Structures are given as C-alpha cells and as structure tokens.
Chains A and B, each alone.
Chain A
Amino acid sequence: MSKNIIRPYGDTLNDGKMQLSFTLPVSCDALGKEAARKLLLQTGFDEAEITSMSDLAEGFTHFIAYAVTSTSVDISKIKVKVVETPVMTMEETDAFVAEHLGRKITVVGACIESDAHTVGIDAIMNMKGYNHRYGLERYHSFNAINMGAQVPCEELLAKAREVNADAILVSQVVTQKNIHIKNLTRLIELAEAEGLRDKMLFICGGPRISHELAIELGYDAGFGQGTYATDVASYIAITLAKQKAQE
C-alpha cells in the first residue's frame, strides 16, 4: 500500500479499527444489539462488535461499538480550501496596515437574524478578545464596530454602507436545522441585490463554519473553531493590501 493511501490506525498500521457510538429507537436487549450490529455491517464495516449498550428509556438504546473499515483514502488526491494568509501578531498587523494601506480598516460585525449568541463575535472584536489575544477594537489599525446580537441583515448592510466598511464579519453560533446556512445565504443575497457584495470582504465565523463552507456560500473567507482575532485581522489586512496592489 502506498504511504499516501491510508486507513484508520487502532494498534497496527492499516488495521482499519474505528470506534463508534449512536442511538437507535430500539429496545435494550439482544434484538437491539443485533440491530445495531447489522446496521454497522450494512454501513460497510466488518467485524462489528457492540461493546456497550445503555437503555435511554422511552424505547431508545445507546450503543458503543468497534468495527473495521476496509475503505481507505488517497491523501495525494485531496485538495482542501484553507485561509492561506500568514498569521501576524497584533503589533505586526498594525505595522503592516500602516505600511501597506496607510489608513484604518473599518470592520462591521454582528450575530445576524435569530442568533443571540455573541460569544464568537465578541471573542474576535471586543477589546478584551479571547485567551490572551486582544480583539479588533484594541488594534490601532482597525475601526471595529460590533453591532451585537440578533441584528437583521438589512441593518448590518445599512451600517456597512454608512461607514464605508472594508469588511463585514458575521457570526453564527446556533446551527440547529441549519439555520446558520439560511441566515448566511440571506445576507449574501441581500448584499448582491444592493450591489455591496464586491465592495467589501464578507467573512463568516462560528463553531460549525469552515473556509470551504464559506466559499461555497459566496463569502470571501470562513473561520471555525480555534480562531482568534489575530487570524481574522491578518487575513483582512493582507487581502486588502493585495487588492490595493492590484488596483
């Protein structure tokens, strides 16, 4: 097997061992256990072994299982979309912006529509930041406007137009029933209708957001879990500098 073609590693190379857990609407007994095992076999696993089952009441049972997969992936054939700009510290970003743009960058951020959870946007934008990385408000090179929670898309776009924003930051934390996709799509559609889409960077973030998803939805970039203000600030500064150089 080529070293580019890989399978899960349990305790031996390419043994294909995986751990799984799931719930079925079935009784917690021999029948339920066999149903869980069959499900794994039909999913394509081999040697499925149910190692634990627990009665969740109301006719549900939770299973923990180990199984072997015979499938493999060729990592030489995989391409992923990631934000490729290097990450600078706050001081480096401030110096970079002074040198390459010679003005402040204006960023408007919000949790849009139904989303009331500001923890993400606050971590990126507020003075205090998160985990010892200051937020955009602290940057000399940024004029950061955090509109907070439950901001209608129309208001966010109106504000961005009013302050002539360089970038819009949207946070979506609640993802139940894919509400984040609906909200993010709505914002982009409105921006396009209002002719704002190409006038500024559109960036989204949240625990279930990836750069790939963001691109797919028509955004310039997406930031997921583990993102700090440094990541977002560097991306905005470098991208704007590149755009300026091309003008």
Chain B
Amino acid sequence: MLKIGLNQEMVSRARKAAFQITNAFTWLFEGYTTVATERTVLRLMGIDGALKDGKPLPNVVVDHLVENSALQKGAAIWMANAMLKKGLTAQQVAEEVAYKGLDITQIPLASGEAILETLNPLVDKMLGHITAQKQKREELLAKYQPRPQPVIYVIVATGNIYEDVVQAKAAAREGADAIAVIRSTAQSLLDYVPFGATTVGFGGTFATQENFKIMRKALDEVAEEENRYIYLTNYASGLCMPEIAAMAAMERLDMMLNDAMYGILFRDINPKRTLLDQYFARMINAYAGIEIQTGEDNYLTTSDAVEKAYTVTASQLINESFALMSGIKPEKMGLGHAFEIDPELENSFSFELAHALLTKTLFPDAPVKYMPPTKFASGNIFKTYLLNAMFNFIGQLTGQGVQLLGMLTEAIHTPHLADRFLAIENAKYIFKAVKDLNQNLCLSEDSFINKRANEVLAQATEFLEKVAREGLFSAMAKGEFADIKRTENGGKGLDGVIMKDKDYYNPFLEIMKQELAL
C-alpha cells in the first residue's frame, strides 16, 4: 500500500498551533455580526425578491436597520416584532419597508417571549425544510451507485444558466460526477446576491437562488437516467458567504467552495468581515450536510509551488480548525491543494506525489480536493493534456476525494463542450488503468517522497507556531500569507461589521449550534 510515514509529533504540534490561531477569535464570533449574516437570517425567515433596480429585499431591510442604528440587536428581533404587531408575514413586512416606508425600528418592542413565539414557527419551518433537503440527498446517495474516488468534477461557465444546463447535462452523461457553476467574475465583491434566473455573466454565471434551483432540477433528471448522483457545486465566498450558503442549503447543493481566508487574501475583503461570515456560512453548510471545499490552490498560483508548499499545508490546518468551530465534520471537509509545480523541474512528479500524499495522510477522512495545473498550462493544448494526465495519475494513486479536471484549453478560453469531454475521457481512462496500483506499491522510509512530505510538514508547523505566537491578523498584516499584506481594518466590507448588543439574537445560529453540539 502506497503510504508515507509522517512524524506524528509534528502533526500534533501543527494541529495545536492551528487550534491556537483559530480559537483566538471567540471574541469576534461572540461580540460581532455582519450585514451579510443578518441578511441571511432574513432569507431564512422567508424573505426573498428584489426591487426593480435589482436591490434584494433582505438588503433593503438590513440597510434600513443600519440607518436607524438598530442592527446590533439582530434583524430577527425587529422583523418578528413587526410581524407580531402588524399581523403580517416576514415577506409582507419587508415589502412594506421597501415600498411604503414602514419604519420597523419605531414599533415598540414586544416581550421577549412574544417575539420568540413569533420566531419559533418560522425557524422550525426553514430548518425543517433544510433537514428534509439533507435527507433527500442522503436517500438519493443510498439509492444510486456508491461515490467514486476521486469524484470527477468539472466546471461550466457560460454566463447563461440555460446554456449551463445543456453543458452540465452533457458533462454528467459523459461521466462527470460533480458540476460546479463558476460565478460571474465580479460577484465576490457584490454586497448583495442577485435575484432570479440570469442569462448574462462574464467568465461565469451569477449565483442566484433561482439559478441553483434550475441546475439542481436538471442534474436530478440526469442522475435518475444515469443511476449516479450528480453533485452540484457553487461558491459561498466573497461578501455574501452565509447568504449563498443558505440558498445552497435550501436548494440542496452538495458542495460549496467555502474558504476561511481566501476572501481576505485574494479578494481584499476585510479580515473581520470574512471570518465572521465564514463562521455562520460554515455552520449552515454543516447543518445542511454540504461538503465544503477550500481554496489552497490559490497560494500556488501566486507563489512557487515547491518553495511555498508549506503554505498549503498551513492553510489546510487553519481551514480545518475553523471548520470544526462551525461544526463541520472531517468527512465534509474538502481541503484543497493543487498540481502546480513547474514541469521543467527534474522529478517534479515525485514532488507532486509527496505533496498529494501529505494532504491525504494529514486528513485521512476528508474528501480532499485536488486542483489541476493552471500556471503551466499553455496554448500548447497537447502539452497541457499530458500535464492533466500526470495530474490524474496522482489523483487516483493517492485516493483524492475530488479531482477538479484540468482542461486542455485552460490557458485559452472557458471550456468548450469538447474540452470537457476530452478531460473526462482522460480521467476515466487513467482512473481505470491505475485503479488498484497503489495496493502494489510502497515507499521506503528514506525515500525522497517520504522525506519531502515530512519536510513540508515541518515547515508548515514552524510557520503555524509563528503565526500562533503573533496572531493571525498581525501575521496577515506583515504579508506572511501568500506575500499579500492585509490589515485588520483594511479591505472591503468593514462597514458591514457590527458590534452586538447584549440582547442580540440570531435564532438560526443558536439552534444550529445546539443541534451541532457546539
């Protein structure tokens, strides 16, 4: 059996340091909320729809509460109070705020008990719906063939959800197990989630609840015919992390890109905003049984994949620790890594194999997610196709949970229909050809691969211990992650971070925490 022997003492030290880093943020999680978190609460209470200019009703209500300095109690209390006093549904109250200038902060607050009585049925209804969606997924998974390892994951990105459906169905029939609908390129920095079905996007399609619903239905149809469950993936990242997680939970998406630090480092979103948003987003994912995936591949597209391999390991451990704080179980943590070493490097394959085994061994229960070559993919599609084959070889050999297939035209355009087919054909051939090869191989203890994996682990541990000593925010401000400097009070979305009152209440968060035993 192909496996590496990791220095277990080093593994414990690394995990301990990651725990110190993430558990230093209880002050943040307990003391603050965000506009995105409160919009999520309103969505979970059943508020949907948008004004003519596209502004969603949850944004209208949250902006109204911010203007009246009332959000520190949380949106749920004000909304439930208005429902109670006016005898309206949550949607109707939101519409009165939007169209009739209703000021819900001027309605005298009812007793806590009365507000809870109004809130509880709404909370039960939505959490019941999300639980039913989770059960539906589990039933379907039990009914169809078992999950393959690795899962074949491909991307569609036409900008038009109806065109995406055609391409996604074709890919699923060709052998894809998971379909990710890439978002339109600017969406991560929008402080609202667009409404309705969309047909125009750039480099991808907007994540909207209606688009989720359309794609879910299409993939369920193909799954039925193919007798294979088709996983649907989207992105709970950017300024609307928890809102998108909530929509995904309602529409039974199966996997969500949901990294604790990606938005800070690679999208310049405020660190406090990001950590707060990921905390609630991940709790929703945990509650809904959604598998999260993290974006460690980004460290390697901006830095050298050998020199900075340890940053991937360090980030995986931080992501793991934050995920545990939100109740995500290891078997739902698709921690990320990537095949990005310069193919000109001698023995690059051995390095890649060492890094892939390190990830798999550190997180044995996690469906780790392996990202394809992008940095050294070029207009030479034949060479890129070969790189993808080597990447697929390692994916099967090391038992990755999810293999995001490389496209031979990666460096040229968003995938053409045939590019995806060729990628799936490549992966299926290799996965089958080397299916049980790892059972026949073993590494000697002094092998380069074994030493290299331990070397990266040791570097990661040292780095994590340093970050634990100085604190995550201070380390980020010094540019210690990905050579990018981010300050605690810099970046986008800081004005959406709000200190909670003593009587703040988020009913969904509280009940999820209870049920997830947090």
Contacts and interface: CB of A to CB of B under 8 A. Distances in A.
9 contacts: A54-B421, A114-B202, A119-B375, A122-B302, A149-B267, A149-B268, A174-B203, A176-B413, A179-B202
Contacts of A117: 185
Given A56-B417, A58-B173, A207-B379, 13 more contacts: A23-B417, A54-B418, A57-B169, A58-B166, A58-B169, A114-B184, A114-B185, A150-B186, A176-B159, A176-B414, A177-B202, A207-B412, A225-B379
A21 interface: yes
A177 B375 CA distance: 23
Nearest to B307: A128
A21 B416 CA distance: 12
B169 A225 contact: no
A87 B202 CA distance: 35
B166 A175 contact: no
A23 B418 contact: yes
User: Taking each of B174, B185, B413, which has the highest tally of chain A beta carbons within 10 Å of its own beta carbon?
Assistant: B185
Contacts of B202: 114, 174, 176-177, 179
B173 A127 contact: no
A56 B302 contact: no
Contacts of B413: 175-176
B188 interface: yes
Contacts of B186: 114, 116, 150
A115 B267 CA distance: 12
B342 to A, nearest CB: 7
Interface of A is mostly: loop
B170 A60 contact: yes
B421 A56 contact: yes
Given A23-B418, A58-B166, A176-B202, A116 B375 contact: no
B170 A57 contact: yes
B60 interface: no
Closest 4 pairs (CB-CB, A-B): A57-B173, A62-B418, A58-B170, A174-B203
Contacts of A119: 301-302, 375
A174 B185 contact: yes
Interface residues of A, number: 31
Nearest to B169: A58
Contact of A128 (B174, B301, B422, B483): B483
B214 interface: no
Nearest to A180: B202
Contacts of A150: 186, 189
Interface of A: 21-23, 54, 56-58, 60, 62, 114-119, 122, 126-128, 131, 148-150, 174-177, 179, 207-208, 225
User: Taking each of A56, A128, A174, A175, which has the highest tally of chain B beta carbons within 10 Å of its own beta carbon?
Assistant: A56
Given A114-B185, A177-B202, A128 B412 contact: no
A53 B45 CA distance: 52
Nearest to A179: B202
A22 B203 CA distance: 22
Interface in B364-401: 375, 378-379
User: Taking each of B166, B184, B202, B375, which has the highest tally of chain A beta carbons within 10 Å of its own beta carbon?
Assistant: B202
B411 interface: yes
Contacts of A116: 185-186, 188-189, 267
Contacts of A177: 159, 202
Contacts of B418: 21-23, 54, 56, 62
Contacts of A114: 184-186, 202-203
Nearest to A111: B185
Interface in B156-200: 157, 159, 166, 169-170, 173-174, 184-186, 188-189
B303 interface: yes
Contacts of B416: 23
Contacts of B414: 176
A20 to B, nearest CB: 12
Contacts of A122: 302
Contacts of A54: 418, 421, 425
A93 to B, nearest CB: 23
Nearest to B422: A62
Contacts of A179: 202-203
Given A116-B188, A150-B189, A207-B412, A60 B303 contact: no
A151 to B, nearest CB: 11
Nearest to A62: B418
A167 B185 CA distance: 26
Contact of B268 (A22, A23, A148): A148
Nearest to A21: B418
A191 B233 CA distance: 41
A207 B303 contact: no
A179 B342 CA distance: 30
B303 A128 contact: yes
A114 B190 CA distance: 11
A7 to B, nearest CB: 22
Contacts of B267: 116, 149
Contacts of B379: 207, 225
Contact of A57 (B174, B203, B301): B174
Contacts of A21: 418
Contacts of B174: 56-57
A96 B268 CA distance: 36
B210 to A, nearest CB: 22
B20 to A, nearest CB: 29
Contacts of A127: 483
